[in-house]
Amino acid sequence: MTLLQEIQAKCSLEQIAAGDYHDIAATVNVGRKRVVSTMITERGVRGALGPVLGSKFLRLLTDLHVAAAADQVPAWLTAVLTASQVPSDDHIYYLETLGCGIDWLRSDGLDLGDTAVRGLLDIIAGGNPSLAPATAILKGKAEQPALVSWNECATALGA
């Protein structure tokens, strides 16, 4: 979506016609975010999520690691992947990747801004509703405001 399209979607026709580009920028900037590379380790997960939710999240990753070693895809993961139209032959590969999460957190860390990692967090949330808040918190760690200036808005509107 271009900035012009975003302005048109978020601002009223009256607001645009008034030409107050500071007001337009303030309206457009509400909720505007960008995802950035953000590494996190096991310690960071525990710090971000607290002792209970952090332990639950890390325990799930440990359980997935064990399940991957045994080639046993958990029923919840099968359900989420099937609903996402992932071919059943590929379910084991998702499990193997998720199972690596605990090792990555304990070594170099995970990049919470990585598109694939964010997708895997969504899979965890989809199959484990009690962990949805944890995945949202972790994904939020990689989000920053993506503010536009009044000048950028003026330029987008052809002023």
Only one residue has tokens 């690596």, namely 100
pLDDT tens for 96-121 read 999 999 999 999 999 999 999 999 99
Measured distance CA(22)–CA(1) in Å, rounded: 21
The secondary structure of residue 108, as a DSSP letter, is: T
Inter-CA distances, 74 with 8, 63, 68, 106, Å: 45, 10, 9, 23
Q: Supply the pLDDT for residue 159.
A: 78
Contacts of 114 (CB under 8 A, 6+ apart): 37
Band (pLDDT 50/70/90 cuts) for residue 1 is: confident
Q: Supply the pLDDT for residue 32.
A: 94
